Amino acid sequence: MASISLEEAMKDGVRSGLKKRFKERRGRLEIMVDILSTAREGVRKTEMVYKANLNFNRAERYIPFLEERGLMEISGAVFKTTEKGGDFLREYQTINELFLT
């Protein structure tokens, strides 16, 4: 039986982990859904970034986009999903269930 070194096993694990990560990358729509989902009850930016698994630069690109379309509102330091944003999330979930089940 051939033995595999710890180094080789780690490299294989890293490679397979990276392949899986790249296959499962979120698209723009999924990122927006994650942002809106985390902000349903109102959150500060830091909490939203961590819960939505983003970095601050990416959040800075998406927040104005969502705000301009009336899906998110900002009140002081609190970010909150609007009623329209909630409607969008429900519709997204319905469509997602139709195609994934």
- pTM of the predicted protein model: 0.75
Is a pLDDT exceeding 80 seen at residue 1? Answer: no
Phi, psi (rounded to 5 degrees) for 92: -60, -45
pLDDT per residue as tens digits for the range 25-57: 889 999 999 999 999 999 999 999 999 999 999
What is the distance between the alpha carbons of residues 36 and 65, in angstroms, rounded to a whole number?
A: 12
pLDDT per residue as tens digits for the range 81-94: 999 999 999 999 99
Phi, psi (rounded to 5 degrees) for 51: -70, -35
Q: What is the mean pLDDT of the chain?
A: 86
Model confidence at 100, in pLDDT bands (50, 70, 90)? Answer: confident
| Contacts (Cβ under 8 Å, ≥6 apart) of 65 | 32
Is a pLDDT exceeding 90 seen at residue 58? Answer: yes
- Domains of the chain (ranges, CATH numbers): 26-100 (1.10.10.10)
Our separate counts of H helices and E strands in the chain read 5, 3
Average of per-residue pLDDT across 96-101: 82
Are residues 73 and 66 in contact, defined by beta-carbon separation less than 8 angstroms? no
